Structure 1
Amino acid sequence: MQTSGRDAELEAELRETLHHRVRPMRGRDPRERGRSTSPLELLYDLTYVIAFAAAAEELARHLSEGRAGPAVGAYLFAVFAITWAWTSFTWFASAYGNDDVLFRVATIVQMVGVVVLTFGLPVGFEAAAEGESPNNLLLVVGYLVMRVPLLALWLRAARDDPARRRTSVAYAVVIAAAQLCWLATALLHLPVAVTVAALVLLAAAELTAPVLVESRFGRPPWNAGHVAERFNLLTLITLGEVVAATTRAVGALVGEQGWSPSAVLLAASGLVLAAALWWAYFLIPSRAVLERWPDRTMAWRTAHLPLFGAIAAVGAGLRVAATAVEEERLSLLQIALALAVPVAVVLVTVFVTWSVLMRSHDLTHVPLFVLSVLPVAAAVVVGAAHGRDDLVEAAGAPGFGALVTVVALVTLGAVIEVVGHEAVGLRHTLRAVRHREWEPAGSG
């Protein structure tokens, strides 16, 4: 039986997509339009969202117990470790992900590392609460399992892609050196202040290294549109954690007290916050702009780094509010800060990401940003005015009306961001694009 041209084409496609033989890692086409996220990348992302959720749960627990300073420090450390590991692999996969058996196995091994790191998060938070470094051996082992396969993949790319060998080798050297330093901070019993300073310096070095490597040796063949989709999807999945945290918080409250105005308030505010933050973020035209001006991708990526942890922390803030109503042991100011700070960080990140992406200094965008942040700041003022020592009580108590006000103000800030972007954001974006129309594609 003869095979038609269309059947032969389908057969070739199936051989390519279903037979995961070892293939040369020569690099993807950085100019490929319409490249989409693979199922393996989506599976990989799910393990990271679980890590974000675990970190947010620990944050909520320690905030509810009044250990805000150590909890925030441990959370920032955990979120950086999780976010940077995901970003580093996403950067590589966009450039060299060939979906062969070795790449798949390396990706799955990294997922095992994320799970190990997740188990180390409670240990890190407890250590921070006791005045010690949050960096523990279990976290570092998880990080090693995540980073060693990535190092091996960079070396494999160096072998298979001679034109970019120096870039790949440089990335491998940076990962190896950084990982040895992370391991040293966990093994050496240095004073806490010295360890924390070392961790901060290491984080700064990890952030700076890609810029130095690519400016010195050239950039890998990452695809700007694909990178934009990867960040967009992780943002979307992390927003789902806000919905999940809302469900858990309201479920615990209902199980303790039954359906009440408090439970309805938290359920409604959690869903509105998740929807508003989703709406605001996806009004940023990341993929369309980065495909035209890929040189903006590095700065755009850096602007994203606080976003995922801040979104997960919104869910932690809702959990704190539920605990406060359920157990009546937190002040309104503590609840206001737990909700307002992460929402404010998300709003700031959206504003900065848009500005970096569009390379715009359009001052007419600033009033919208200020209007969005003002209600969030007002929520903290209401919390402070209510007093540090006055505990929040259930519906019907004098403090419940203030709690409603705080939650409403925080939610209003996110809603204003959406309404403002819909009303004037498009004009600002088009103005910024027209200002850059003379630039050729690929220029900064």
Structure 2
Amino acid sequence: MPSTRHTEPLVRPMRPRRRDEPHRVATSLELFFDLCFVVAVGQAGRELAGALAEGHGTGSALLHYALAFFAVWWAWMNFTWFSSAYDCDDVPYRLTTLVQITGALIFAAGIPRLFLNADFKLAVFGYVVMRLAQFTQWLRAARGEQGAARAMARSYALGVALVQLFWVVMLLVPKSAVNWFLPIGAIAELSVPAVAERRTQSPWHPHHIAERYGLFTLIVLGETVSAATVAMQSAVDEHEALHELIPIAVGGLLICFAAWWIYFAAPIHEHLRGNRQAFLWGYGHYLVFGSAAAVGAGLEVAVEHAVGKAHISAEAAAATVTVPSAVYLFTVWLLHARHGKSGPAQWVLPVAAALVLACTALGDGGVLAAGLVAAAAIAAGLWLSTRPSVPDASID
């Protein structure tokens, strides 16, 4: 008797998904994609921590970190918005996504060279692999679309291809000219979505996008905790300076716990009504993700300073934690929290960000103080949000 079991076709038409599709959640492939991409995030954080602990070339280290994180964030973000609109989950789609993951791992392998002597070759190769895989996905989407939507998909494909050609050309110019190419290339990358979607909008799913960003935030925070834990363990094994590390551990945990709390305090998908809100929100996450990962690097530096291995001042060591923590608090408020707050409660996070930054002056006690400020901000926000509203005097 022949089998009646339904089998899925290996290749399906890549058609746009509905923006109001119910129960739209992240897939196992998307989660695997995130976990592999965080390898590059961790590599960038480790290189940043090593450079900051040495105290030499801080400006160069921050620039290289910003460039490395931009590449990881931008490739991740483009995949995320595309998959929200066109994920058909067939064999070609899965294989192309695995190629993108391979490119991310190649890019991660090139990050140490980028920090050491500004060698972009391996990093650019990995980045181009990621982005050309995305180029083929947009070509597939164009074949499944019609009219303005097809023109949009083709514009994406053309834009991605041209910018990758630009990065390859950058490798051929003298090293002294590279600094001119980098900002031009970054602006070109950021401009592709705006140009491609100037007439029609890709059918991304607001709830799915919000979930994907939230999941990546969780993974980055997890990498931050992991990096700090490894640094603590190494310091204890080598120096047994537990009493000096406990304040850093407590402060770091409070910062990470607060970072999770404020990000997920209120749903954000209802705010993502169109491209104007969504683009600003999505682009702003460069600072959210980058600062969250930098907190982990800063905690590594603070640990090394506590055991005498970092060649920087106490204030500089504290700043490696307080500055990215303040950036995170302020950016999450700007993108997230202020949309669901009113009255005094909406100003808690900006004030907390300023106080965390001021904790830098405390030197060795700065990390613990910053953690206590972050925890106090959560408590203050909860208290203010539960206070009974004052009745309007004009209403009898």
Using the TM superposition, give the Cα deviation of residue 145 of structure 1 relative to its aligned residue in structure 2, in angstroms: 1.0
The correspondence of residues 330-341 of structure 1 with structure 2, limited to 5 A, is 330-341=312-323
Tell me the residue number matched to 2:153.
168
In the alignment, does 2:81 pair up with 1:91?
yes
Tell me the residue number matched to 1:222.
204
> What amino acid sits opposite 2:144 in the alignment?
D
Using the TM superposition, give the Cα deviation of residue 221 of structure 1 relative to its aligned residue in structure 2, in angstroms: 1.4
Using the TM superposition, give the Cα deviation of residue 311 of structure 1 relative to its aligned residue in structure 2, in angstroms: 0.6
> What amino acid sits opposite 2:155 in the alignment?
A
> What amino acid sits opposite 1:315 in the alignment?
G
The correspondence of residues 7-406 of structure 1 with structure 2, limited to 5 A, is 15=7, 19=8, 21-67=10-56, 68-127=58-117, 134=118, 136-163=120-147, 164-191=149-176, 194-215=177-198, 217-258=199-240, 260-290=242-272, 296-328=277-309, 329-354=311-336, 364=344, 367-383=347-363, 403=364, 405-406=365-366
For the Cα contact (< 8 Å) 2:252–2:368, is it kept in 1? no
Tell me the residue number matched to 2:394.
none
Using the TM superposition, give the Cα deviation of residue 262 of structure 1 relative to its aligned residue in structure 2, in angstroms: 1.9
For the Cα contact (< 8 Å) 2:337–2:346, is it kept in 1? no
Distance in 1, matches of 2:158 and 2:306, equals 51
In the alignment, does 2:379 pair up with 1:419?
yes
Indicate how the Cα distance of structure 1 residues 206 and 357 shifts in structure 2: closer, same or farther if over 3 A, else same.
farther
SS at match of 1:305: helix
Write the deviation string for residues 2-49 of structure 1: whole angstroms up to 9, x where unpaired.
Answer: x9xxxx9xx65xx4xxx4610000111111132010000000001111
Using the TM superposition, give the Cα deviation of residue 243 of structure 1 relative to its aligned residue in structure 2, in angstroms: 1.2
- Unmatched segments (≥5 aa) in structure 1: 128-133, 384-402, 431-444
For the Cα contact (< 8 Å) 1:283–1:421, is it kept in 2? no
Distance in 2, matches of 1:316 and 1:22, equals 43
Using the TM superposition, give the Cα deviation of residue 300 of structure 1 relative to its aligned residue in structure 2, in angstroms: 1.5
Using the TM superposition, give the Cα deviation of residue 135 of structure 1 relative to its aligned residue in structure 2, in angstroms: 5.7
Write the deviation string for residues 268-294 of structure 1: whole angstroms up to 9, x where unpaired.
Answer: 22222211100011114213443x667
Using the TM superposition, give the Cα deviation of residue 225 of structure 1 relative to its aligned residue in structure 2, in angstroms: 1.0
- Of the structure 1 ranges 71-80 and 374-383, higher mean CA displacement relative to structure 2 is found in 374-383
SS at match of 2:113: helix
Tell me the residue number matched to 1:130.
none
For the Cα contact (< 8 Å) 1:299–1:356, is it kept in 2? no
> What amino acid sits opposite 1:262 in the alignment?
E
TM-score, normalization: structure 1? Answer: 0.81
SS at match of 1:222: coil
SS at match of 1:381: helix
Distance in 1, matches of 2:68 and 2:86, equals 27
> What amino acid sits opposite 2:379 in the alignment?
V
Using the TM superposition, give the Cα deviation of residue 421 of structure 1 relative to its aligned residue in structure 2, in angstroms: 3.2
Indicate how the Cα distance of structure 1 residues 55 and 20 shifts in structure 2: closer, same or farther if over 3 A, else same.
farther
Distance in 1, matches of 2:187 and 2:343, equals 30
Indicate how the Cα distance of structure 1 residues 271 and 160 shifts in structure 2: closer, same or farther if over 3 A, else same.
same
> What amino acid sits opposite 2:334 in the alignment?
V
> What amino acid sits opposite 2:190 in the alignment?
L
Using the TM superposition, give the Cα deviation of residue 201 of structure 1 relative to its aligned residue in structure 2, in angstroms: 2.3
Distance in 2, matches of 1:408 and 1:245, equals 18
Indicate how the Cα distance of structure 1 residues 364 and 265 shifts in structure 2: closer, same or farther if over 3 A, else same.
closer
Indicate how the Cα distance of structure 1 residues 374 and 296 shifts in structure 2: closer, same or farther if over 3 A, else same.
closer
Using the TM superposition, give the Cα deviation of residue 368 of structure 1 relative to its aligned residue in structure 2, in angstroms: 1.3
Indicate how the Cα distance of structure 1 residues 363 and 190 shifts in structure 2: closer, same or farther if over 3 A, else same.
farther
TM-score, normalization: structure 2? Answer: 0.90
Distance in 1, matches of 2:350 and 2:138, equals 43
Write the deviation string for residues 340-395 of structure 1: whole angstroms up to 9, x where unpaired.
Answer: 1110110111111126856x9x6745631343023312222233xxxxxxxxxxxx
Q: Percent identity?
A: 36
Using the TM superposition, give the Cα deviation of residue 110 of structure 1 relative to its aligned residue in structure 2, in angstroms: 0.6
Indicate how the Cα distance of structure 1 residues 27 and 425 shifts in structure 2: closer, same or farther if over 3 A, else same.
farther
| RMSD, aligned α-carbons | 2.4
- Unmatched segments (≥5 aa) in structure 2: 390-396
For the Cα contact (< 8 Å) 2:263–2:336, is it kept in 1? no
Distance in 1, matches of 2:385 and 2:121, equals 47
Distance in 2, matches of 1:317 and 1:377, equals 14
Indicate how the Cα distance of structure 1 residues 81 and 30 shifts in structure 2: closer, same or farther if over 3 A, else same.
same
> What amino acid sits opposite 1:323 in the alignment?
E
SS at match of 1:327: coil
SS at match of 1:371: helix
Distance in 2, matches of 1:418 and 1:137, equals 44
Write the deviation string for residues 192-230 of structure 1: whole angstroms up to 9, x where unpaired.
Answer: xx4223211221222233123212x31111111111111
